[in-house]
Amino acid sequence: MTRRLVYIAFGAAVGVLVVQRATKAAKRFTPAGVQSSLADSFSGLTDAVRDFTAELKVAMAEREEELRSVLGLDGSHDVVDYVPPGETGGLEPDVR
């Protein structure tokens, strides 16, 4: 008799869990559940795009600074490399 009660209690517990899981699954496929799922997905997507653009802007600024330095557009080479008109600046004159 106690064996039967154990099996009945076990079956009832499993039945309750199955019904709860089925209810959760059914709620996911309702219009409100689908909307919530899509909203969460798009929220994650917009955060990822926002982070990507922020990192891209930082990388672009670093690269621009590097290029300006290499090309002498940062203002540090203006005084050193400036040769007034008519002077050779220590270079050999072009003799032909």
**Mean pLDDT, residues 39-45 taken together:** 87
Model confidence at 49, pLDDT cuts 50, 70, 90, reads very high
> What range defines the domain where residue 38 resides?
2-74
> Is residue 80 in a domain?
no
**Mean pLDDT, residues 12-36 taken together:** 89
User: What's the pTM?
Assistant: 0.45
CB crowding 4-19: b at 16 or more within 10 Å, else e: eeeeeeeeeeeeeeee
> Is residue 89 in a domain?
no
* Total number of domains in the chain: 1
**Mean pLDDT, residues 38-43 taken together:** 86
pLDDT at residue 92 is higher than 90: no
> Is residue 94 in a domain?
no
Give tens-digit pLDDT for 64-76: 999 988 887 877 6
